[in-house]
Amino acid sequence: MQPDIRQEIIKSIKKLPTLPIIFEKILETVDDPRSSANELQEIIKNDQSITAKILNMANSAYYGYSKRVSSLSRAVVILGFDMVKNIALSVSVFSMFPYKNEKSYFNKEQFWLHAIACGYLGKMIAERTNYYEPDKAFIACLLHDIGKVVLDSYFEDDYSKAIQIKAKENISIREAEEKVIDLNHTEVGYFLGEKWDFPDELLSAIRYHHFPAEAPQQYSSLTYLTYLTNIVCQEERIGEGGSVLPVQIEPQTFAVLKLKDSHLELIRQDIQDLREKLETMIQAIHL
């Protein structure tokens, strides 16, 4: 490990651009229950990258339309308000991070599949239990591993070493990161979230999603929700999350989230039912 790598990473995070304005505007629609598809279109219509990816999704074989979809308004009708919002949120944040080396040990496609699957599963659990705001659950679960993208984008050689160590020693990526760079993706994600002025509740979900019992009590519900989606998506083999399986789910998870054991199989089926749509989404937005 380079002796100053930890400080280099922290300095690099401080130099990163501020949170994209479009992300902040979309978050405003999340917080406003009166927001509409028309308002969302107004936010994203001038962003060519996001618009192109939304059209790609609407034109994918998954939806099977014979005529090409060429307008954003038509795409919103086909995909639905939630899908368009979720694509826009994902693209607006993650496109900030360069992906320079196609031969990188970091499988970006599988990473995105895991992140987006976690986002959708978090939202579905929130809706199923009527316990937490679904859109906020989506955002927390989507962004829980954002520290990995920072490490791969700006410290690619060191992160490739960590990925190799994970495979060789059969340890979690978090443990391998600590061996190589003296901190892990949860800390890096937390530092980035601080820079971007994320709310404390979201910072907690990012920082403690492997050890939710350590989260401040007032933020435990969102942190445990993020923790659970991370494990379930890994166990269901949807994308790559970086843990060594099997992982024992902490018993208090069900009490905090007011879930029953019987809900777990329904949750697993929920995400499997979405697998094809999520895989199509990854191909369409190709982050």
Summarize pLDDT for 196-221 with one digit per residue, the tens: 999 999 999 999 999 999 999 999 99
Q: How many domains does the chain have?
A: 2
Same domain, 43 and 122: no
Is the peptide bond prior to 20 cis by the omega test (within 30 degrees of 0)?
Answer: no
Q: Rounded to an integer, what distance in angstroms lies between the CA atom of residue 201 and that of residue 209?
A: 12
User: Which of 16-20, 21-25, 95-99, 123-127 is predicted least confidently?
Assistant: 95-99
Please tell me the predicted confidence (pLDDT) of residue 101.
60
Where in the sequence is the domain holding 30, given as residue range(s)?
A: 18-95
Quote the tokens at residue 216: 């401040």
Summarize pLDDT for 150-206 with one digit per residue, the tens: 999 888 889 999 999 999 999 999 999 999 988 999 999 999 999 999 999 999 999
Summarize pLDDT for 253-266 with one digit per residue, the tens: 999 999 888 888 99
Q: Rounded to an integer, what distance in angstroms lies between the CA atom of residue 25 and that of residue 22?
A: 5
Same domain, 91 and 130: no
Same domain, 78 and 137: no
Same domain, 66 and 156: no
Instruction: Read off the pTM.
Output: 0.90
